[in-house]
Amino acid sequence: MSNKNVVAQKKKVAVLISGNGGNLQALIDACKTPDYPAEIVGVISNKAEAYGLVRAQNANIKTATINHKNFTSREEFDAELHKQITAFGAEIVCLAGFMRLLSESFVNKWQGKMLNIHPSLLPNFKGAHAIKDALAAGAKTTGCSVHFVIPEMDAGKIILQREIAIDSADTEESLAIKIHAQEHIAYPEALCLVASGEIVD
């Protein structure tokens, strides 16, 4: 198969962020591999100061900022999000540290095509304090999960997980560093599985 054909088959991906964009960077790097089955066509942030926007611009990827504070309802914000994702021509959406709850109607529009990464071994420790909660519970292991997004938070079908041991000396900070390193392996692998059609919802 010629390289041209491989490129033509790549799935177009929009990445949604709110902050640092470490996972976005891992996806950008993975997409540089010629036979990787996805390409990032746009990055959207709800925060203008998100460092992930700089990462995208450095990689010559289109960006958009949609400030949720400019919208009176979640539905209105989500409608604008959908419009921008569609304008980018994306077929798959990757949530990568996107700190907004999404409406049911938006999630349903992207059913089976929207992925999220979460810093725990789901179904354990759902929610915004997963790393802290795993430590507080005295868990011996934790990790990260990439899953399909459904209206219920952190509850969709799991695509891939990576596990790490929690040491007695671990702090929230040290654990976060270890988990993030695993996330940066897991997300590109999971997107590869979905974009190539090996895993479906």
**Pick the catalytic residue: 118, 129, 180, 184?**
118
Residue 156 to residue 116: CA distance in whole angstroms: 9
The nearest distance, CB 21 to ligand GRF, in angstroms, is 5
Q: Is the CB of 113 or the CB of 118 nearer to ligand GRF?
A: 118
**Six token digits for residue 192:** 């590869």
**What are the residues binding ligand GRF (CB under 6 A)?**
19-23, 96-97, 117-119, 180, 183
Residue 95 to residue 53: CA distance in whole angstroms: 14
**Six token digits for residue 120:** 């725990």
The nearest distance, CB 3 to ligand GRF, in angstroms, is 30
What is the pairing mode between strands 141-148 and 114-118?
antiparallel
Q: Is the CB of 28 or the CB of 90 nearer to ligand GRF?
A: 28
Q: Is the CB of 11 or the CB of 118 nearer to ligand GRF?
A: 118
The nearest distance, CB 19 to ligand GRF, in angstroms, is 5
Residue 194 to residue 196: CA distance in whole angstroms: 5
The nearest distance, CB 20 to ligand GRF, in angstroms, is 4
129 assigned to active site: no
Q: Is the CB of 103 or the CB of 145 nearer to ligand GRF?
A: 145
Residue 163 to residue 90: CA distance in whole angstroms: 30
What does residue 121 show for φ and ψ, rounded to 5 degrees?
A: -90, 90
Positive or negative: CA dihedral 54, 56, 59, 62: negative
Residue 173 to residue 58: CA distance in whole angstroms: 28
Please list the active-site residues. 118
